[in-house]
Every structure is written in C-alpha cells, then in structure tokens.
Structure 1
Amino acid sequence: MGEDGAVTSASQRPEGPAPVTRLIATDLDGTLLRDDKSVSPRTVAALAAAEAAGIEVFFVTGRPARWMDVVADHVHGHGLAICANGAAVVDLHAGREFVQVRALPRDDALSVVHALREAAPGTSFAVELTTGIHYEPAYPPFYQDPGATVAAAEKLLHEEPAGSAAPVLKLLAHHTELAPDAFLSLARSAADAHASLTRSSPTALLEISGHGVSKASTLALCCAERGIAPEEVVAFGDMPNDVEMLRWAGTSYAMGNAHPDVIAAASGRTVANEEDGVAVVIERILAERLAR
C-alpha cells in the first residue's frame, strides 16, 4: 500500500506517460458512500475539486433514480447519473428526469422468470419500472416503497395493449436459501440468453437488465457522446455489477472492501469506503496533475 493509501499493480499499468483523466466514474453503495449511506466531507471536497479541475464525475449505480437524493447535491456541471445498472441516465438537476432509458423487454423478463422458477424453485421477483417498484408476495418488501403493487411477476409484467405500460428497468430475483454467488452462477446458466444478470447486494438478490445493458455499456455511450476515450476514464467499484465497468475503464480501482471478482477485474486497489478510498485516489490524481 502506498503512502496515500492507494494500491496499484505496476504490472497492469500501460507503458509510457499516464493518460490525462477526463472522467471519474464511481459506484455509490460500498464505494463512494460510507456504510451509513453518507458522503464524507473529505469525499465531498474531492468531488468538487475534480469538477473544478475540469474532470467530469459520473455516479454509476444500481440504485433507481428515486434513491439518488443522497448524492444529488454533489452532482455538478452535467447533472447526470447512470442508474439501475445502466438501464437509465437521469438528470438530477431536473428533478430526476429520465434522459435515456434502456429497457428490459417484458417478454425477456417473463422468460427469465420462467427459467429461474424452474432452475431455482423458491425464487421471488420484483419489477422495477421507471415509475417505481412492484413485487411478489414472497419478495422482501421495500420500506421505501409502501405504495408498491403486490402480485405475481406474470401479472406485474403483463401489459395490454403492448407498449402501453411504463418501461421495465430491472427485474429483481431473490432467494432465501442459496448463497449469493451460487445463485448468480445458476441464474446466468439458466437465463443469460434472455438478459444481463448481476448482483450488488450481500444477499442472494440478483439484478436483471436488458441484454447488453450494464454500467459499462451505458458509461461507454455517455463517454462517446463527449469524445472521451476509455483510457481517459478512472472507475471505482466494489461488487460484481461493477466488474464490466472496471474492465472497460483505462484505470480502475477496487475498494478495500471489494468482492474478489472486483479485485481481479480492476487495475488497482484503494482503501475501503469507510476510509474514503475514492477521495484518496482523486486527491492523488489532482496532485499529480499540479506537479506536471
């Protein structure tokens, strides 16, 4: 571990001078946020300093738009955040308005439901729409969403006529007995022909998006619109839903509290979220920029 608290594997660094950082992409829970879901003063200052230095900051999270209040005040110039594991780009300056939606087709969601009911009996489901979440009776209820409709997934996913209902951002699948990684592996074997499956929870809760939809693919679209290359991006994460993004970015950091798959995917490592690991790296980036 270096003096600034960040660890980077030199064997994974490209030869020659490091590219100039133009965009920072960071996960929220377990990464930017502390365990109590707060943003520390040190991290607030680091984010503001990055923006002042001309580096765009994107929050890239599995959270839905309605759960973004915790960081809304810390989005600066562009105002955008990537939510629901890449299924939505949201303008937090405009009341969490959806700028882009990459929906999960309802037929594909139903195919996943049927595949997981067969492969993992006892799975319960929730459906995350652009308008809110709804779930099955056996699914753990969300205290944040007391107005949710409770019904079988097949009913929640039904629309008549076609195209009349709100877009599906994510299907969520929960199991009370399977280990989280085992559930993800089983689900991918059974249903990855229909959708993209990942997880960010410490429990056996899977997040299912449209085929090819991920934090990485939506971040790539946002960067392409800005003329930003992958090597100009620094990314941070801690859970399997961050793996593709960390592999895509030119420089990436696994948090000190990260899942083993995240550590393997990232090009470097920083300290844990409770120790302001994202801020540690941002401060170093800015110090190196000043020293040039």
Structure 2
Amino acid sequence: MLELIVSDMDGTLLDSNIQVHPDNIQAIMDTYAQGIPFLVCTGRNFTEAKFLLEQAGLRCPIIGLNGAILFDREGNVEYEVGLPNDVAMEIIRIGEEKNYYMEAMTSKNVYSSSKADRIVAITELIHQTNPGLSYEECQQRATQSNEVKSIDYRDNLADLITEENQQILKITFLHPEGQKVLKAFGQELDDKLPGIYVTSSFSSNIEISHERATKGEAVLAYCREHGYNPKNILTVGDNYNDITMLEVAGYSFAMGNAEDEVKASAKYETDTNYNGGVAKAIQKALNLSSQD
C-alpha cells in the first residue's frame, strides 16, 4: 500500500506559470482523503514554498533547502543541518573573489547579494518555461513576483553569520553561462572544502550545503520519525538535487522534462510538469502498489 507521497516543486509540482498544476492539486486532495499524506521536498525555503502551496489550497510539511531543514505543517522547524560557519564564510569569500552572484538561505529567509541579479535570474527562469513570452514580458513578471519581493537583500552575506548569528543552511550561485562555468566551480569547492554537498536544481545554478543535507537523507529521516517504509513511498523529481530521494523510494518517478541522469536514477517516468505529471505518477503508483 502506498504510504506517503513526496514531490519536488520546480519543474515537477509547478507548471510553466510557477503554480501547482490543477491536476496535481486534485490528485493530492484525492489521495489525502484516502489517508495518504503529502510532503514537499524542495530546494526552496519555507516562505517561498508555503506561498505557492497556499495559492493551491495545500498545506503540508516542507523539507526545504534540498534537505537541510524540515518544517511541520505549522511552520515549526523539526530539524536542520547547516554549514559550519567557517565553511560558509569561505564559500562566500571565494564567491566574492570571483564576483559571482550568490544567495544564502537560513531558517528565516533567502538572502541575495543583488536585487538586480535576482531579477535577471527569475526572468531567465520564466523565459525558459514560457518561450512564447518576450524577454521584456518575462522581466516585468519577475520584477512583480513574490520570487523577488519576498527576498532579503544584503550587501555582505557574511554579515548573516558575523552580525546576526544566523546559521547558513545553503548557498546558491547563479551564472549566465550556467554549468559551463558553475560545474567546474562546484568541483573546485568540493575539492577544497570537506563535508559539503554540491548539486544543481536548474541549468544556471549550483547549490552548496552540508554533506548530510540531501533530499534522500531528509526523506529517510522523515520516514523513520513517522513510521513509513521507504519501499512504500512515492518520490517525484526532475533535476540533479532530486536523485538522492529517487534512489531511496520504492516508487520513484522522473518527470518527462527531467534531465537524462535523473531519469536513469528513477524506476519510472511520468509526463512533464506542464501536463500534470505528478498527478499521473500518483495514479500509476496507486495502481502498482495495489498489485504488490
């Protein structure tokens, strides 16, 4: 029997308008009525994820920042795994030295080193998922979006540690040339700094967190705490940061729009995020589990 449904957000649960696809909403509501709970596991922080879920009428626990933190339905932190302060400071120092755009995430919020660069990043994301829109239309949407308005902008991200005594859970780098630049940079950080985990949720970014702050580790921890058998859970994702949670689930689905390496790590494939792929994965998992 299917015991738990776990879904990524961007490129998975969310459609081209960065909203939860209507078919996914209905499928989640239907399975919840059957006693099967739903959990989001995302690279986003709580505030960003909660805003989009509430728009869809959904309220659920949220594993955020690629597994670095777990919030219950009420927004209380159940656990977090942060970067050591000296490691976070060194990552920020190297990023500043290279003049790369950075974002730092804590349990409180997402902090950006540049509002202008944040707008560019969100504009590019909207343009990738809505190629029919002009760049100017995408830029206008980005400027007015919660993705820009809800972020806290700081001249020096290191102040989060030295002045505010916050623990950084994840640091993200974005670059207009994407993996052409960032893949080598991520490898450089991985070679230099022990105990970190480097992954990517979009073609234009890399994300650095504690080595134990992965989606797979977080999902397994949630299952242990709440009594679910990983063999009886469904996980759905589309990008490299989803691989670890796809590998631990009995019913793992890669989206039709997923990267090839992600598809190879999943047991099954579903439709794209544009076409309610999560809803179709849920239905197939229900059918498969009823035969086991």
Short-chain TM bin: 0.7 to 0.9
Matched, 1:63 2:64: no
Question: What residue in structure 2 maps to residue 89 of structure 1?
Answer: 70
Question: What residue in structure 2 maps to residue 11 of structure 1?
Answer: none
Alpha-carbon distance in structure 2 between the residues aligned to 1:139 and 1:247: 37
Question: What residue in structure 1 maps to residue 101 of structure 2?
Answer: 124
Question: What residue in structure 1 maps to residue 229 of structure 2?
Answer: 229
Deviation per CA, 1:254-282: give whole Å up to 9, x if none: 10000122112111111101111111121
Matched, 1:34 2:15: yes
Cα distance change on mapping 1:174 and 1:156 into 2, 3 Å: farther
8 Å contact from structure 1 (residues 263, 269) kept in 2:
yes
Alpha-carbon distance in structure 2 between the residues aligned to 1:181 and 1:265: 23
Question: What residue in structure 2 maps to residue 252 of structure 1?
Answer: 252
Question: What residue in structure 2 maps to residue 188 of structure 1?
Answer: 187
Question: What residue in structure 2 maps to residue 100 of structure 1?
Answer: 79
Alpha-carbon distance in structure 2 between the residues aligned to 1:35 and 1:235: 21
Counterpart amino acid of residue 43 in structure 1: N
Cα distance change on mapping 1:113 and 1:139 into 2, 3 Å: farther
Alpha-carbon distance in structure 1 between the residues aligned to 2:81 and 2:257: 30
Deviation per CA, 1:39-69: give whole Å up to 9, x if none: 2332211111211222221111111111122
Structure 1 residue 235, shift from structure 2 partner? 0.7
Question: What residue in structure 1 maps to residue 261 of structure 2?
Answer: 261
Q: Give me the TM-score of the superposition, normalised by structure 1.
A: 0.79
8 Å contact from structure 1 (residues 116, 187) kept in 2:
no
Alpha-carbon distance in structure 2 between the residues aligned to 1:281 and 1:137: 38
Alpha-carbon distance in structure 1 between the residues aligned to 2:24 and 2:167: 34
Alpha-carbon distance in structure 2 between the residues aligned to 1:273 and 1:181: 25
Alpha-carbon distance in structure 2 between the residues aligned to 1:242 and 1:80: 17
Alpha-carbon distance in structure 2 between the residues aligned to 1:251 and 1:185: 33
Q: Give me the TM-score of the superposition, normalised by structure 2.
A: 0.79
Deviation per CA, 1:90-120: give whole Å up to 9, x if none: 234x2x33232222222121233345567xx
Alpha-carbon distance in structure 2 between the residues aligned to 1:74 and 1:184: 37
Counterpart amino acid of residue 265 in structure 2: A
8 Å contact from structure 2 (residues 113, 154) kept in 1:
yes
Q: Which moved more, 1:64-73 or 1:181-190?
A: 181-190
Question: What residue in structure 1 maps to residue 218 of structure 2?
Answer: 218
Structure 1 residue 228, shift from structure 2 partner? 1.5
Structure 1 residue 284, shift from structure 2 partner? 3.0
Alpha-carbon RMSD across the aligned residues, in angstroms, is 2.6
Counterpart amino acid of residue 180 in structure 1: Q
Q: Which runs of 5+ in 2 are unaligned?
A: 120-142
Whose Rg is larger? 1
Structure 1 residue 287, shift from structure 2 partner? 4.7
Counterpart amino acid of residue 53 in structure 2: V
Counterpart amino acid of residue 240 in structure 2: P
Structure 1 residue 28, shift from structure 2 partner? 0.9
Taking only the aligned residue pairs, the percentage that are identical comes to 26
Deviation per CA, 1:5-50: give whole Å up to 9, x if none: xxxxxxxxxxxxxxx2211111011111111122233221111121
Q: Secondary structure at the match of 1:140?
A: helix
Alignment of structure 1 residues 43-62 onto 2, 5 Å = 43-62=24-43
8 Å contact from structure 1 (residues 109, 195) kept in 2:
no
8 Å contact from structure 1 (residues 112, 195) kept in 2:
no
Matched, 1:158 2:165: no
Counterpart amino acid of residue 46 in structure 1: A
Q: How many residues align?
A: 261
Cα distance change on mapping 1:239 and 1:291 into 2, 3 Å: closer
Alpha-carbon distance in structure 2 between the residues aligned to 1:57 and 1:252: 15
Counterpart amino acid of residue 107 in structure 2: T
8 Å contact from structure 2 (residues 251, 285) kept in 1:
no
Counterpart amino acid of residue 124 in structure 1: Y
Q: Which runs of 5+ in 1 are unaligned?
A: 1-19
